[in-house]
């Protein structure tokens, strides 16, 4: 009986074609024994030439799927058919020789000789695609939360403006004092809308602006951020700022926005009176940590997990602003090769931080 190896050797052009393909190709028999593979398969799974020949196909499948795969194999050989990539069951996982599990896509075909039936699996590594899809999914969640927050807050402020404007227009008996009070509220709501729109513009610019990173004068940047905050917001607060900050690379205007958002949040959510500490420390792998510590009621672990993604999920009454600040913070520090974080314990306050590379650890 002529086996698969003989079939391929007797057809040199087919054998050459299989070896030249960018996809991994595996031939198996009904028992799941690997009869032949091309060099791409060896490379994908980390094996040497001929090392897989005679091995069970389950060797390339994660442990938790092996028993189920044996059933699938029997079913396939009982009614073989071509199954292209993109099929509902074509996205699977494979196990490399070193134990690494990676994402792959498989299409199936078969060869039916006079003596035996062979299955052919065409393997494509889709790890990069799966990673990109996962990142896109997270990004879409962030954008949905961002859009929801913007729409909710702008609608709220616009309703306030419309309501007070109608009162001024329609109520001829309004006293000058009430009229002036309503106008003040209209101006306040308009300024809030202006602030939201400015933050939207900053948020959108982060993905296209090309900036040059320099060593930051962090103490001056912190002082500028504090000075931007209205006196009424910080009049009873005790704000302690370190005299020395760890040197780091970044872009001053963006980092000022990070501090501004962190410090304002700390003032909003701290205890009475607010006690805020601002400082920095060395971190691992060539990064430095910059932080704002408050004396507020703190966050649960679950709240910490999504506070930078969807602050509205923190619950009714928790958010005292429009919630765009932390989304902007996260985007800024990621753009500057860093990341944002929060450490918190209920009833013990929170530490909001961001990490930036040390000047000696320049990633540009």
List, in order of start, the domains of the chain with CATH numbers.
4-125 (3.30.450.20), 128-205 (1.10.287.130), 210-364 (3.30.565.10)
pLDDT of residue 364: 47
| CA–CA distance, 324 with 311 (Å, rounded to integer) | 8
For residue 357 the two structure tokens come to 């590379």
252-273 pLDDT per residue, tens: 888 988 998 899 889 988 888 9
pLDDT band for position 198 (cuts 50, 70, 90) = confident
pLDDT band for position 317 (cuts 50, 70, 90) = very low
15-29 pLDDT per residue, tens: 677 787 889 999 999
Q: Which residue would you say has higher pLDDT here, 266 or 320?
A: 266
| CA–CA distance, 130 with 91 (Å, rounded to integer) | 10
Average pLDDT of 132-151? 75
Average pLDDT of 162-173? 91
């Amino acid at each position: 009986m002529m086996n698969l190896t003989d079939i391929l050797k007797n057809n040199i052009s087919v054998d050459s074609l299989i070896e030249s393909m960018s996809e991994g190709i595996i031939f198996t028999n009904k028992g799941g024994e690997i009869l032949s593979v091309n060099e791409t398969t060896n490379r994908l799974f980390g094996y040497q030439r001929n090392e897989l020949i005679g091995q069970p196909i389950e060797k390339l499948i994660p442990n938790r799927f092996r028993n189920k795969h044996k059933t699938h194999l029997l079913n396939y050989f009982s009614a073989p058919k071509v199954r292209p990539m993109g099929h509902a069951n074509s996205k699977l996982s494979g196990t490399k020789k070193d134990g690494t599990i990676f994402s792959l896509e498989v299409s199936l075909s078969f060869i039916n000789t006079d003596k035996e039936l062979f299955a052919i699996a065409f393997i494509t590594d889709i790890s990069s695609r799966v990673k990109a899809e996962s990142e896109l999914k997270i990004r879409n969640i962030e954008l949905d939360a961002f859009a929801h927050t913007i729409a909710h807050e702008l609608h709220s402020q616009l309703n306030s403006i419309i309501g007070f404007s109608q009162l001024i227009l329609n109520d001829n008996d309004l006293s000058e004092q009430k009229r002036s009070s309503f106008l003040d509220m209209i101006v306040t709501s308009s300024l809030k809308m202006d602030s939201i729109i400015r933050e939207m513009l900053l948020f959108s610019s982060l993905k296209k602006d090309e900036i040059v990173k320099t060593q930051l004068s962090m103490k001056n940047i912190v002082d500028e951020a504090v000075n931007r905050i209205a006196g009424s917001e910080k009049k009873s607060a005790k704000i302690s700022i370190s005299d020395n900050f760890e040197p780091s690379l970044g872009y001053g205007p963006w980092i000022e926005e990070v501090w501004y958002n962190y410090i304002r949040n700390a003032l909003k959510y701290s205890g009475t009176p607010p006690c805020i500490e601002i400082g920095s420390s060395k971190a691992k792998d060539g990064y430095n940590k910059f932080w704002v510590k408050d004396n507020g009621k703190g966050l649960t672990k679950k709240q910490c997990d999504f506070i930078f993604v969807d602050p509205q999920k923190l619950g009714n009454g928790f958010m005292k602003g429009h919630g765009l600040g932390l989304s902007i913070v996260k985007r800024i520090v990621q753009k500057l090769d860093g990341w944002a974080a929060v450490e918190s314990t209920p009833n013990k306050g929170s530490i909001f931080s961001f990490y930036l590379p040390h000047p000696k650890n320049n990633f540009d």
